[in-house]
Structures are given as C-alpha cells and as structure tokens.
Amino acid sequence: MGTGNFWLYLLVMFGVTYLIRVLPFVAFHRKIENKYVRSFLAYIPYTVLGAMTFPAVLYATGSMVAAAAGVAAAFAAAYRGKGLFTVAVCASAVAFAAGLIL
C-alpha cells in the first residue's frame, strides 16, 4: 500500500461503482417502447460477457494451453446444460489438471 488514504480510496471506489449501477436503474422507470432500443438492451448481457471472456480468459492462468483446456471443458459442460457452479468447477479442475501435466 502506498501513501494514499485507504478510506478515501474506498469511498471513491464505492461512490463510482454504486452510482453507476443505481442511477440508471432508478432513472428508467417506464418501459422503453422502441423495438430497436429494447433489442439492443436484450443483447447486452451476452455481448458484454462474450467480450469480457475473450481473449482475457486465455491469460487468466499461468499457461495459455491450460486455460484453453479449461475453456473447452466449460463449453462442453455448458452445452450439456450444466449449471453455473458445475461449469466453473469444470473449467478450474481441467485447467488445474492440464497445468500439472504440462
């Protein structure tokens, strides 16, 4: 930790993160009628997660091969309809095993 004040850092982080989530949530209280705007918002969860996952996931562990193995396992599990936790465990377990072998 450097010379900055922890409490001020904490306050700044909290303030920005809280307002960015809550202000839009409170401000929009009527249904948006426009078909294009609604479609845009419907695509958002998936495009955000897609962009967050690739290519960052390949660099999330020490080895790109282990990460790729974990991703492949996650896709296989998710495709078979497994839940969030199972898929996350598959990804970590396979990446761990691949890391040991390599």
Partner 1 sequence: MEQFLQGIKDGSPIGIGYFSVSFTFGLAAVSSGLNWWESLLVSMMNLTSAGQFAGITVMAAAGSYLELAVSQFVINLRYALMSISLSQKVDSQFGAGKKLFLGFANTDEIFAVAMSREGEVGSRYFGGLAVLPYLGWTLGTLAGAVCGNILPRQVSDALGLAIYGMFIAIIVPAMKKDSRILKMVLLAVALSCALYYIPVFQHISEGFAIIICAVAASAAGALLFPMEEGE
Binding to partner 1 (CB under 8 A): which residues in 36-65?
36-57, 60-62
Q: For the residues of 10-77, what is the DSSP string, one character each?
A: HHHHHHHHHHHHHHHHHH--S----HHHHHHHHHHHHHHHHHHHTTGGGGSSS-HHHHHHHHHHHHHH
Report the site for partner 1 in 60-99 (rule: CB under 8 A): 60-62, 66-67, 70-71, 74-75, 77-79, 81-93, 95-96, 99
Smallest gap, in angstroms, from Cβ of residue 95 to partner 1?
A: 5
Smallest gap, in angstroms, from Cβ of residue 101 to partner 1?
A: 11
Q: Is 101 in the site for partner 1 (CB under 8 A)?
A: no
Backbone angles phi, psi at 82, to 5 degrees: -70, 155
Residue at token pair 């495009």: 47
Smallest gap, in angstroms, from Cβ of residue 63 to partner 1?
A: 8
